Each structure stands twice: as C-alpha cells, then as structure tokens.
Amino acid sequence: MRNIGKGLVGASMLIAAGGAAAQSSVTLYGVADTFVQFLGNGAVHSWSMRSGGNSGSNFGLKGSEDLGGGLKAIFTLENGYTINNGGFFVDSSTMFYRQAWVGLSAEKYGSLTFGRQYQPTFWAVYPTDPFRGDEVLSPLSAAASALDRHTFATQSAAGRSSNAIVYQSPIVAGLKLYAMYGFSATVTQPVPQTLGNILDLALTYSGYGAYVGLAYQNQHAGTAAIPGLPSALNLLGTERFTGALGYRIGIVNLQFNYTYNRSKDAPAGSLAARLGANNSYSIAEVGATIQASPADTVEIAAIERDVRGVHDNTPGVQLGFEHLLSKRTTLYARAGYMKNNGSAMMSWPGISVSGQNATQTMVATGMSYRF
C-alpha cells in the first residue's frame, strides 16, 4: 500500500487543509489477480482467462482524519475490475462496485458508516469459508448466487448493500456486534432489479482458537427483470439465518457455516406463484485451511445447496493451494467439482450452466499481486 502524506499533495491543498492535514492520511491500495481456467460444463468444455480467482481485482482509496478525543472521520472507495480485459467487475455502470462509504469511528464506541458496504452476514461467515468468499472461485459464492427454476423469487444474499447505514461495535471480551439497515436500491446489472429495504444483524466471537458467528437478515420484497420471463418477477421478502464456526488446531483451521434462506409466501396469481419459484433453500459448507509452511497454504471445502420441497440439490467439493513468492505476490491453483440434480443450476459465478443435471468441473491456476 502507498500512503499519500502531506508531502505528496500540492501546496494549495496544504493551505486549505491547514493544521488538520498533519492528522489526516489517505492510502491507495489494490489487487491485480488473473488466472487461466479449464471448465467442464456438462458436455461443453472450454479454456479461458478470467480475473479474481484468489482475491477480486480491485483498487481503492481509504482515509481517515483525527478529529480529537478518539474520534475519526473515515472513508473507503473501492473499485472492482477485470484485469484480463480491463473492464468493470459485474456492473459496468458502477465505478465503486465493491465499497463506497463515509462515516465516523470512535475507539470506545465503534463506527457508524453510510453508503455501499459489506453486510453484517458477510462478516459473520467470511472467516469460515476456506476460499474467503471470493466472488469468482469460491464454492460458497457459487451457492449463494445460484439461480434455478424453484428459487428465482427467493432473494439471495448479495454480500453488500447500497444506501446502507452500518454500525460496528468495538471488540469487548472477544465479542463484536454488527448492525445494518439498508434502504431500497435499484441496480441494472447483471439483471435490472429493485431491492427492498434490508435489516441485517450479526454477532461474532473470537478467542482461545475458536470463532463463532451468528447472523439474521430480513430482505423486503422487490422486483427483477429476468430474460425469458413474460414480465417482471416479484422477488419475495426473504429471511436468512446464518451460523458459522471455526476452530484452530495447530496449523489446521477447521471451518463450518450454514445458512437457511426462507422466503415469504408468494401472493396468489403473482408470477412467482405461477412459476412455483419461491422455494426456500439451505447452504452448508465444511472445510479446512492448512498452513503447510510459512509460504504454503492448502484449502479444502465440501458444500451442498438444497432447495426445500423439491429434489433440487447440488453437492460439491473444492481444493486450493497458494504459494507466497513474497508478501505481495501469490501463485495459486484451484480444482472443483459440482453435481447438479433436478432443476438445480449451480456453478461458479459468471458461468451459465449448460443444462439440467449438468456436472461442473473446474481447474484453474493464477497469480495475485497486492499493492
């Protein structure tokens, strides 16, 4: 990371900032990550170059200003991009897709921030996914973002919310509280959607080699324009209940997480009701992260996504390996397998499943550089 101090800004900015500039800092940071992938998508096989297999390619600015008395003004602006072609990640209409927020932080009382931010549920689960919730090659991200015949109208956990107010408490005896309320938001990509207001609460504990995370999320109803449907689909209000556990034994960190997504009943005559697209579903992941040497890490995960009331499910397994060439540069490899049953259509994010009952096989190797 590169700190941009007062010696790097122009004289006019120094004059305008006055004495407060000495207590301010802005940091430029980011990740450049690319990989080559082989994909078996049912009977279709392909090779491709993609971005963000270990950590999403991004660059950002974060800063703080000391206001005195332990109070700070803080902000973060973080872009997501695809290094293989130089484009924006996921949403080409959004410059700071990953994060864009500003707020206040106090040592004794925690922080209160406003803007586009990670959801508390994300922070509760993050330490228990061996692949760290990566938006491209994590099987947990694949399960969370899957769209299939019986869950079109059951909203999935996005990981981030726009128009959000987030409170994070200080850590007390290993406990930390997260609370978020997000106002309705509209997005245009990957499909046009209007998302309802959202409440998200999480409590985490870390200590004695153990980690525990609990979260509750209530997403209000919205709408989505999904290609192939006769009209806009009514997205149903959805509750999510999440539990996450971790325990370190020597070089092995054991990890587990479970989420149950429960949708509200579809109104009679609505498109969601006519399609039968409002089934609840669960996601369970168990795995481990092994620090084989100071420079080498092995990840393993088994996952299953089950749709309630029908015979749609997807079990999967994934292995990962990372080797540090330096503190900034990592070489990595991934190998994964998923078996879709019934009308389940789960694959790694950004991949369209070729058809029902299509197995998904992935092998990838890449490089990640942090700055």
* Lowest-pLDDT range of 8-17, 179-188, 250-259: 8-17
Confidence of residue 188 (pLDDT cuts 50, 70, 90): confident
In this structure, what is the dihedral angle of CA atoms 31, 36, 42, 44, given to the nearest 10 degrees?
A: 130
- The CATH code of domain 2-370 reads 2.40.160.10
Are residues 56 and 21 in contact, defined by beta-carbon separation less than 8 angstroms? no
The residue-averaged pLDDT of 264-275 equals 90
The CA distance from 117 to 115, in Å, is: 6
The CA distance from 50 to 52, in Å, is: 7
Are residues 315 and 189 in contact, defined by beta-carbon separation less than 8 angstroms? no
In this structure, what is the dihedral angle of CA atoms 154, 156, 160, 162, given to the nearest 10 degrees?
A: -20
Confidence of residue 10 (pLDDT cuts 50, 70, 90): very low
In 3-state terms, what secondary structure has residue 28? Answer: strand
The residue-averaged pLDDT of 199-222 equals 97
Structure tokens at 293: 């040497």
pLDDT at residue 114 is higher than 90: yes
Confidence of residue 16 (pLDDT cuts 50, 70, 90): very low
- Phi first, then psi, for residue 212 (nearest 5°) are -135, 135
- Residue tagged 């963000």 (tokens): 52
C-alpha distances out from residue 164 to 167, 179, 269, Å: 10, 10, 33
pLDDT at residue 15 is higher than 50: no
The CA distance from 320 to 166, in Å, is: 33
SS (H, E, C) 246-311: EEEECCEEEEEEEEEEEECCCCCCCHHHHHCCCCCEEEEEEEEEEEEECCEEEEEEEEEEEECCCC
- Residue tagged 């290993």 (tokens): 174
pTM, whole model, 2 decimals?
A: 0.90
pLDDT at residue 2 is higher than 50: no
The residue-averaged pLDDT of 260-266 equals 94
pLDDT at 11: 35
Are residues 267 and 277 in contact, defined by beta-carbon separation less than 8 angstroms? no
pLDDT at 92: 87
Which residues are registered as beta bridge partners of 24?
65
Q: What DSSP state is assigned to residue 154? A: B
How confident is the model over 124-177, as pLDDT tens digits?
A: 999 999 999 999 999 999 999 998 889 989 988 899 999 999 999 999 999 999
Confidence of residue 22 (pLDDT cuts 50, 70, 90): very low
Cβ-in-10-Å burial (0-12, 13-18, 19+) of 343 comes to middle
C-alpha distances out from residue 107 to 35, 63, 172, 204, 216, Å: 40, 16, 12, 18, 26
How confident is the model over 299-351, as pLDDT tens digits?
A: 999 999 999 999 999 999 999 999 999 999 999 999 999 999 999 999 999 99
How confident is the model over 30-67, as pLDDT tens digits?
A: 999 999 999 999 999 999 999 999 999 999 999 999 99
The CA distance from 348 to 51, in Å, is: 13
For the chain, which residues make up each domain, given as ranges?
2-370
pLDDT at 192: 86
Mean per-residue pLDDT of the chain? 92
